[in-house]
Amino acid sequence: PPDSALAASQTSPPVDETLTPLEQEVLDEYAHLLDNLNNLSGLLAELASNPSTEILDSLRGLERKTSLVFTLLKASVYSIVLQQQIGEEEMGANDGR
pLDDT at residue 22, as a whole number: 93
Please say whether the beta carbons of 31 and 15 come within 8 A: no
Q: Where are the domains of the chain?
A: 1-50, 53-97
DSSP label at residue 13: P
Give the pLDDT confidence score for residue 93 in this predicted structure.
83
Alpha-carbon Rg of the chain, whole angstroms? 33
pLDDT tens for 8-66 read: 455 555 555 799 999 999 999 999 999 999 999 999 998 888 878 888 888 999 999 99
What is the rounded CA–CA span in Å between residue 3 and residue 78?
59
Amino acid sitting at position 31:
A
* Residue 47: predicted pLDDT: 82
User: Nearest-CA neighbor of 31 among 59, 11, 51?
Assistant: 11
pLDDT digits (tens, 9 = 90+) for 56-92: 888 999 999 999 999 999 999 999 999 999 999 998 8
DSSP string, 14-34: PPPTTS-HHHHHHHHHHHHHH
| Better-scored residue on pLDDT, 32 or 6 | 32
